[in-house]
Amino acid sequence: MNGEIEEIRGTFKPELIPAETGGNIDDYEEALHVLMKFVGSMSSALEQVSGRGANAIVYQAGKRMGHEAGKLMEKTDDLEKAMGELSEILGQEFYFEMWKPSDQDSYTVEKGNETEVKLLFMDCVVRQTLRRTGLPQKGPLCYLLYGYMVGAVEEVMDIRGKLDIDHVGPNACLKTLTINWSGK
């Protein structure tokens, strides 16, 4: 791109459904960068104004999104199947796998009425956004994914869940998903 803005002129009718998107790949890239900066700044400002309450607000927003996304998926009681479905919901932008330390036999750990499973998030748009905008990880934006995951798992398995962030790194983040079988 040589810095000139190319104007697209045409006829607009509200009843026409666009058959294809306009612009080229550079436009999308530019739009993505701007959006990312907005989201990063919003998250940072939210934290500044609301303090730790920011995490709760964003968590609720994520949870609602997760519940909506989970409604499209098949209900199951099988944790591994649910993880597979969650993987589909989250798509390639949030690629994760179940993880366990080498001295642990199974991915799941039973603790009374609860089951814990560790999830390793390898690809994450949130992490990329935070690092791109120079913001610390484990902030409100991370809680969006946290809520999204919990909302989706609650919807798919019809249980109550929570996700704790164990560790954040530049290439992967480890989270613990706890499922409470006593239901909602």
Where along the sequence are the contacts to other proteins (CB under 8 A)? 29, 32-33, 36, 92-93, 95, 99, 101-102, 120, 122-125, 127-129, 132, 166-174
Q: How far is the CB of 160 from other proteins (least distance, A)?
A: 26
Other residues' Cβ atoms within 10 Å of the Cβ of residue 105: 7
Q: Residue 24, class by beta-carbon neighbours within 10 Å (0-12 exposed, 13-18 middle, 19+ buried)?
A: exposed
Q: How far is the CB of 110 from other proteins (least distance, A)?
A: 22
CA dist 179 and 113 (Å) reads 8
Buried/exposed 122-158: b ≥16 CB within 10 Å, e otherwise: eebbbbebbeebebebebbbbbbbbbbbbbbbbbbbe
Q: Residue 119, class by beta-carbon neighbours within 10 Å (0-12 exposed, 13-18 middle, 19+ buried)?
A: buried
Kindly tell me which of 29 and 88 has the beta carbon lying closer to other proteins: 29
Identity at 166, one-letter amino acid code = D
Q: How far is the CB of 125 from other proteins (least distance, A)?
A: 6
Kindly tell me which of 55 and 129 has the beta carbon lying closer to other proteins: 129
Kindly tell me which of 53 and 91 has the beta carbon lying closer to other proteins: 91
Kindly tell me which of 73 and 125 has the beta carbon lying closer to other proteins: 125
Cβ pair 100, 118 in contact under 8 A: yes
Kindly tell me which of 114 and 123 has the beta carbon lying closer to other proteins: 123
Could you list the beta-strand ranges (E) of 18-171: 96-99, 108-111, 114-121, 160-168
